[in-house]
Amino acid sequence: MAESTTENSYSYIGIDAAATVADERQLSRSLRPLHLWALAVGLVISGNYFGWSYGYGTGGPLGLLIACIPVTIFYATFILCYSEMATAIPHAGGPSAYARRAFGPFLGYLAGFSCLVEFLFAPPAIAIAVGQYVHFMIPSMPAMLATIMAIAVFVMINMIGMHVSATFELIVTVIALGGLCVFWSYAIPHFDSASFLHHTIPNGISGIMASVPFAIWFYLALEGGAMAAEEMVDPQRDIPKGFLSGMGTLFIMMSLTCVLTAGIADYNLVKSVDFPLPIALAQVFGEKNPVTIFVNFVGLFGLAASLHGIILGSSRQLYAMSRSGHLPKFLSVINRKFRTPHWSLLTAGIICLFAAITGLTAVVISISVIGSVALYFISLLSFFKLRISAPQLRRPFKVRYGIIVGTVSMVLCIFCLYSVLFFADYFLAVKWAAVLYALAILWYFFFSRKNVRPFEEEFRSSEDPK
């Protein structure tokens, strides 16, 4: 049941009044649309450098490409709905804030927890890939040591401050995008369409459905930019610009990477490795060729962009849920010098480290995808509920034909959820996700429910004062 006692009488949603007074709970505003574009693309760009190629193993190149079609349409429609809510409710909790505004604290908590599952289990997979890339370049460097060092470095960079972090994210994202352009430009002259099209689809329809989690990996965490909403200078105007330009960029990246890789190399060579692009180029130019070495090196920037950005996003979700009362209070304490939630960053880093030590990249990816699809489902429910129950909500960005767009997105979201739960090859991921959700629900009823802050303390409303 939605909380309605006082939430319809305020004029803006942002940091709560108590947090404004309490300096140790307040974030700073310093981000522009270009920063959000870099954050949105940077959160996802590692999905072009690794992870997606496991979809070659489940459905073959053609099966993965077919799986990408409904997934792309889903993200295109979802991000429109999500942008509407993000501009109406610019809150560090992102989806947990939207769900709480729509349905009350329990679904708000579940949305926030789903976001945590997505954002806490994506970084370990990326960190593992960083270790593999470094080991490929420097065989004397143990892959796991490089993984641990990467986690430590990016937690420290995020500690320094949001503007520094966002500027770093912009730089590494542009470099990583440049690396992909080099890969595409060298792959196109050697692309053989017959090589791509002659592959069969392993297991037919089941193979395509099993490829959906890896198609999602091309876009996973795009929505994370919304968790920087409280640090945007003008969130109502800038969030749509950053999100929509980011979605367009990612679509182009996905199309080129998915098709060109299998068009220059035998997909069986890349379907189970964490550095598919250098392996593919090596089939054309050789392992020691400068182009292969360069793309491998720049691939580290792509992984760095996503690892850095998703650690940032996970820390902001921990921060927001702590501020709401769902998690221990120390997680929402802000460093007085750098204005960053240092305890949340350290906690995210520790969880990332323990998950990365397992070395189970595909399983960790699948757990993250399960959390993301659950998050999308709850977010779309919130979109419909807010359209119906809060028509007066001030919406600086409003989706045209929103109910139709949202319905298309919801149908495809259910398709993705069904694919992830019933066709994924990694049952271990489904099992662990179920355990995590069961523990989370127990935590809510035995701890969180008693400590959640009243709505009116945490939010100011977003209704147009006119």
Say how far apart CA 280 and CA 302 lie, in whole Å: 17
Contact (CB, 8 A) for 140 and 345 = no
Query: Is residue 310 included in any domain, yes or no?
Result: yes
**Is the residue at 108 inside a domain?**
yes
Q: Which of 68-72, 398-402, 433-437 comes out lowest in average pLDDT?
A: 398-402
Q: Considering the entire predicted model, what is its pTM?
A: 0.80
Nearest residue to 302 (alpha-carbon basis) of 116, 32, 24, 44? 44
Range in 27-36, 184-193, 320-329 the model is least confident about: 27-36
In a domain, 18, yes or no: no
What's residue 102's pLDDT? 93
User: pLDDT exceeding 70 applies to what percent of the chain?
Assistant: 87
d(CA 419, CA 373) in angstroms, rounded, equals 10
Tokens read off for 339: 């204005």
Which residue range forms the structural domain that includes residue 134? 41-451
- Contact, 457 vs 10, CB < 8 A? no
Structure tokens at 335: 């460093």
Decide if 20 is inside a domain.
no
Tell me how many helices (H) and strands (E) the chain has. 18, 0
Model pLDDT, residue 164 = 76
pLDDT in tens, 199-223: 678 778 888 998 998 899 899 888 8
Answer whether residue 460 is part of any domain: no
**Residue-wise pLDDT tens digits, 344-377:** 999 999 999 998 988 777 788 888 889 999 999 9
- Split at pLDDT 50, 70, 90, the class of 465 is very low
Does some domain include residue 302? yes
Degrees, nearest 5: CA angle 291-296-299: 125
The CATH number linked to 322 is 1.20.1740.10
What integer pLDDT is reported at residue 23 of this predicted model?
A: 44
Torsion of CA 114, 120, 121, 124, to 10 degrees: 170
- Give residue-wise pLDDT tens across range 150-160: 999 989 888 88
Give the residue-averaged pLDDT of 61-84: 93
| Of the candidates 360, 358, 466, 375, the residue with the CA atom closest to the CA atom of residue 420 | 375
What pLDDT is recorded for position 228?
62
Encoded tokens for 262: 């299998």
232 SS3 class: strand
Buried b / exposed e across 21-30, counting CB within 10 Å, b at 16+?
A: eeeebebebb
- 3-class state of residue 30 by DSSP: coil
Q: For a pLDDT cut of 90, what percent of the chain falls above it?
A: 38
Contact of 276 with 53, CB cutoff 8 Å: yes
Query: What pLDDT is stored for residue 113 in this prediction?
Result: 95
Asked if pLDDT for residue 288 goes beyond 70, the answer is yes
Q: How many domains does the chain have?
A: 1
- For residue 11, being part of any structural domain is answered with no
Does residue 3 lie in a domain region? no
Q: Give me the residue label for tokens 């400590």.
A: 451
Between these two residues, 72 and 94, which has the higher pLDDT value?
72
